[in-house]
Every structure is written in C-alpha cells, then in structure tokens.
C-alpha cells in the first residue's frame, strides 16, 4: 500500500521519496507497536485523505496543492537504511522517512550528512533524547548525531520532560530549546522567526509525534501532557519546508495505543502539508 500523497511511480522523476522503516528494536518504551506505523499511516491516508467519485479516487490536497513529485519507496529494514538513504540523497531527492522508533533517525542523519555536510537539526520531541551515558537507543539520538550536526544552528522544539543528564548536555553544548511555554509567551510568529533565524543552510527535521500534546496525538509510545498543538507543529514545519530542507522523518507513532487512528491521520496530513510547502 502506498501513501495517498504519492503522485509518481518513477523514482527517477521524484523530488521527494517516502520510505517506511518498521523497526522498534532500539526502543525502551513500555508501549510497543511503533513498527506498525508505516503501514497504518499509509492505510489511514488512503481511507481518510481521499475522495471517491465512482471509480476515481483522488487525495484531499492541501489548499496550495502539491507540485512536488512524490514517490513511495515502500518499506525497508534497519540494515538497509544507509544504502537506501544514500541512493535518495545522491540522486538529489529529499528523503521522508516513517518509523519506527526514534533511534532510526541516527542512521538516516549519518547518510544525509555524507552529502550535505553538518546539518541544522530541528528536533521536535517531548524529550531531548540527549542521554550520553548510554548510546545507540531512542533516548540518545541527539548525542549520537553530534558528529553530523551543527549545534549552533540546531534547535529542539516541544521539550518538556528532560532528565538532569539531558539538561546538563543542553547547557554544555549551548543548544537552543523552544518549549510549548515559550510559544505561548512569545507568540507563534515571533517564535517561528527566531527558529528560522537560527537555522543554517542544510536543514533536517525529525518529528517525534510525542512533541504533540496527547489530546491531538494519543497514539505515541511515550505520551507527555502539556505539548504542542497540531497547528503549532504544522505551522512551524511548513515554514521550515518553505525555507528549504534536505530531509524529514516522522517517528514514534504507536497505532496500538491510538484513539480512532487520530495520530496516524495527523501524521498523514503533516506529511502532505510539508510536501506542499517544499520550495
């Protein structure tokens, strides 16, 4: 099953390539099932984001339409990430990956950075994932990718439940953090301008769906109250996509704990809005 936003059957013609990575082998979450997300997000996109007129089926597009050519690569295993992402970026295309647990992002960034050099990483998450005492799992992603990013032009958004070790690392590396409270205090437009002003040229976005408040995205592996609204997240993502990105991933959707597939549907809509905004 392909995501409904796929509008070409040719890898060579594509501007954006969607890749599913149904793996949660590096997760320590009590909630299991993020490996089901690539299939569920595609399925829900086909059910809820399409209109049927007789035998004709068409997606419900963002208002501006989708001008980019989008190709759905299908699913790959964790061991195939390097070769697959290498192929996508070396062909001048933008990889959009659907996980799976957040540790997958580490492997993707390693490959994207081969072509683009140090990345400005925009990391949406309820958790900093900045644990340095343990490596190679979903809680150490930001520390594990430090060799591949520029911390001065990177930012974490939505953070609200860090461990002390992570707070220490944020201070140590001088990392910019935008919390949901900051957005309320400063307003969305000012917040967005500040974030865009921080970013460098090669922007990679990683979205853990638990950055979104559980009221909007209940089906995640580690839900945390007091999160971003669905509009907050999408507004910022669209602004960054218009500025220009070299890759995007969406992680930690956990269909087993969702409510009427709301989180998978939101993930599908977010993908469409990003694709529609890519410059």
Output the known binding site.
Answer: 102, 125, 127, 129, 208, 210
| Helices 81-90 + 104-116 axis angle, to 10 | 30
Residue 79 buriedness (CB in 10 A; 0-12 / 13-18 / 19+):
exposed
In this structure, is the dihedral angle defined by the CA atoms of residues 75, 80, 86 and 87, taken in order, positive or negative?
negative
Residue 46: enclosing H or E segment and its boundaries? helix 37-48
State the Cα–Cα distance between residues 232 and 212, nearest whole angstrom. Answer: 9
State the Cα–Cα distance between residues 6 and 28, nearest whole angstrom. Answer: 32
Binding residues for Mn(2+): 102, 125, 127, 129, 208, 210
Q: Give backbone dihedrals phi and psi of 39, rounded to 5 degrees, phi first.
A: -70, -45
State the Cα–Cα distance between residues 68 and 237, nearest whole angstrom. Answer: 16
120-124: strand order across its sheet: 70-75, 16-21, 94-99, 247-251, 203-208, 120-124, 155-157, 176-178
Indicate the Cα dihedral angle 176, 178, 182, 184, nearest 10°: 150
């Amino acid at each position: 099953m392909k995501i409904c936003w796929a509008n070409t059957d040719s890898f060579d013609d594509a501007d954006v390539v969607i890749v599913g990575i149904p793996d949660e082998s590096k997760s320590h979450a009590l909630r299991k099932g993020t490996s089901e997300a690539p299939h569920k997000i595609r399925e829900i996109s086909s059910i809820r984001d399409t209109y049927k007129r007789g035998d004709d089926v068409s997606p419900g597009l963002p208002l501006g339409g989708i001008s980019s050519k989008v190709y759905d690569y299908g699913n790959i295993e964790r061991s195939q990430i390097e070769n697959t992402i290498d192929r996508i970026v070396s062909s001048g295309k933008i990889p959009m990956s659907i996980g799976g647990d957040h540790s997958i992002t580490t492997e993707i960034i390693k490959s994207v950075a081969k072509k683009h050099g140090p990345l400005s990483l925009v990391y949406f998450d309820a958790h900093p994932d900045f644990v340095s005492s343990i490596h190679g799992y979903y809680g150490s992603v930001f520390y594990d990718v430090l060799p591949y990013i520029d911390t001065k032009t990177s930012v974490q958004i939505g953070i609200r439940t860090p461990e002390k070790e992570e707070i220490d690392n944020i201070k140590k590396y001088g990392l910019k953090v935008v919390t949901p409270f900051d957005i309320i205090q400063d307003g969305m437009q000012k917040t967005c301008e500040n974030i865009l002003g921080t970013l460098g040229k090669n922007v990679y976005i990683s979205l853990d769906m638990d950055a979104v408040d559980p009221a909007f995205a209940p089906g995640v592996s580690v839900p945390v109250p007091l999160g971003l609204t669905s509009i907050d997240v999408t507004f910022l993502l669209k602004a960054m996509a218009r500025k220009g990105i070299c890759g995007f991933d969406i992680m930690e959707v956990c269909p087993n704990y969702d409510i009427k597939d709301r989180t998978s549907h939101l993930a599908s809509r977010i993908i469409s809005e990003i694709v529609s905004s890519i410059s």
